[in-house]
Amino acid sequence: MNRTTPDRPTWARNLSRARRAREWDARRLAEELARTAGREVTATVESLIRRVHQWESGRHTISERYRYLLGRVLGLEADALAPTAEPDPPAPGTGTGTAPAPLTGGSELRLADDVAHTLHQAHTALAQAAPEAVVSLLENDVERLCRAYVCTPLTHLYPQIVERRTAALTLLPTLAHPVQSRRVHTAATRLVGLQAHLCLDLGAYEHAQAHAGAARALAVNTADPSLLAWTCALHSLIAYWDGRHEDAQEAAEAGLTHGATDSNLTRLHALRARAAAARGDVALTKAAIAAAQDHTHLPVLPGILGFPTGKIHAYAGTAYLTLNSPDGRRRSVEHAERAIALYGTGPDRSVGDLLAARLDLTTAHLSAGEWEGALEQITIITATSTGHRTASITQRARRLLPMLGTTRAAPARRIRDQLTQLDTSPSPTPLAG
């Protein structure tokens, strides 16, 4: 006999079972939901209790945002709470005896949700523990998020960044020990910096600038030259994509005064090169690229905190392309191809930098009328999920359309169609649902 009953949809029963498995009532689930969501959900616990009852009764479907949050709290795949959730399997002894299917398709998201749930439980357990345990766990969280940021869609990381940022800033005033205070200031700086990056990648430049300013203020209390340099690099990056190229160059040059001893020194030279190229300063562009390449031996922190060699080539490719000369285009192609080769397919590869390098190759091919080469790159770019397409990538792709002119070559028509489709695709948003 099949366990499926007609009174409630599958997703509603999945929610009920997951709640009961933890021996929680609706209030406990609502409280956990509110705590996980933080400031991103304005609903009160009482209103969330009503929603839980409505969801479990099947009277109201669960929005994408709440499916994600419930999945984190209950350790469920978000798809299990979707209206399209599969019916329950037959009870033991009544089905075909097929073994459980291995994790496929959404397995990465499911595993990520499991990790988030484990960490949430650990944070709860350590809430009354010694500060050292809390600080260490916070630092581990920051490293994990910084590593994941370069290769994970924004929608998956946003709630975790906000939650950890809130925890870090709440913890700061409670610490009297100077070493612990410095460590948490460092963690908080990086988390606020991550929020600035996220706003930048969504094209919200004013919000990004505000977060970068807060990160800078926090970094001052650490007296860490590399962290201070990283916050200056944030300001330069935001100004560059906001079209304020002089500000971008000045911010990079200000960062160089801090004497960073890791790859943030490389980052600042590369940022200076891009800004100088946008201002038409050929000599400074070439000098800054050379300086960046002279410091490839410096230590590279994980993820968004580091500036690996592949990123140097990605930035150099963009800078040379901006100079808009035959020699610049030739060098741009060389650097872009090198960036793609260095990033390869490793877990820490930066999807954004790979897309930027491919956009540089596309632009160079279009400038030379090499339609097939441009089409090859555009096909890869447009096949990338929307969650990885930042505002800067989308803006750059849109600027390629005028380069096609009125040509009727078949590859050019396909490029135009793909770019038009890209332009109408929904942008990633951390608050979807």
Helix axes 205-220, 225-241, angle to 10 degrees: 170
pTM attached to this predicted model? 0.70
Domain assignment present for 129: no
Domain count, the chain: 1
State the average pLDDT over residues 207-223.
95
Q: Write the pLDDT tens digit of every residue in 400-422.
A: 888 888 888 888 889 988 888 87
**In the predicted structure, residue 395 carries a pLDDT above the cut 60:** yes
Cβ pair 202, 389 in contact under 8 A: no
Q: What is the pLDDT at residue 345?
A: 60
In the prediction, which pLDDT does 255 show?
Answer: 95
Q: Of 149, 151, 177, 179, nearest to 164 (Cα)?
A: 149
Which residue bears the tokens 């606020």?
192
Under the banding of pLDDT at 50, 70 and 90, the label for residue 206 is very high
Examine the pLDDT at 124 and tell me if it is beyond 80.
Answer: no
**Token pair in block for residue 118:** 């484990």
CATH of the domain at 29: 1.10.260
Rounded mean pLDDT, 205-233: 95
- 15 in a domain, yes or no? yes
Identify the pLDDT of residue 108: 53
CA-wise closest residue to 70 among 61, 161, 137: 61
87-104 pLDDT, tens per residue?
444 443 334 333 334 444
Q: Is the pLDDT of residue 150 over 70?
A: yes
Nearest to 313 by CA among 332, 291, 294, 330: 332
**422: Cβ contacts below 8 Å, ≥ 6 apart:** 381, 382, 389, 394, 397, 398
pLDDT at residue 111 tops 50: yes
- Structural domain for 28, as ranges: 10-87
Q: What does the pLDDT look like over 322-374, one tens digit per residue?
A: 999 999 999 999 999 999 998 876 556 788 899 999 999 999 999 988 999 99
Q: Residue 177 — pLDDT band, cuts 50, 70, 90?
A: confident
If pLDDT is split at 50, 70 and 90, which confidence band does 3 have?
very low
The Cα–Cα gap between 130 and 222 comes to 22
Asked if the structure places residue 25 within a domain, the reply is yes
- Tell me the average pLDDT across 16-34: 83
Do the domain assignments include residue 98? no
- Choice among 76-80, 220-224, 288-292 with the minimum mean pLDDT: 76-80
DSSP state of 58: T
Does any domain span residue 46? yes
Q: Name which of 149-153, 210-214, 352-356 the model is least confident about.
A: 149-153
3-state secondary structure of 261: coil
In whole numbers, what is the pLDDT of the chain averaged over residues?
83
Q: Tell me, yes or no, whether 70 lies in a domain.
A: yes
Q: What is the DSSP string of 73-139?
A: HHT--GGGGSTTPPPPPPPTTTS--PPPPPP-STHHHHHHHHHHHHHHHHHHHTTTS-HHHHHHHHH
Between 249 and 14, residue with greater pLDDT? 249
Angle among Cα 313, 376, 317 to the nearest 5 degrees reads 15
Q: Which residues, including other chains, have CB under 8 Å from residue 77's CB and lie 6 or more apart?
A: 71, 106, 109, 110, 113
Q: Establish if 283 belongs to a structural domain.
A: no
Query: How far separated are the first and last CA of the chain, in Å rounded?
Result: 36
Tell me if 240 is assigned to some domain: no
- Phi first, then psi, for residue 314 (nearest 5°) are -65, -45
User: Using 50, 70 and 90 to split pLDDT, how confident is the model at 320?
Assistant: very high
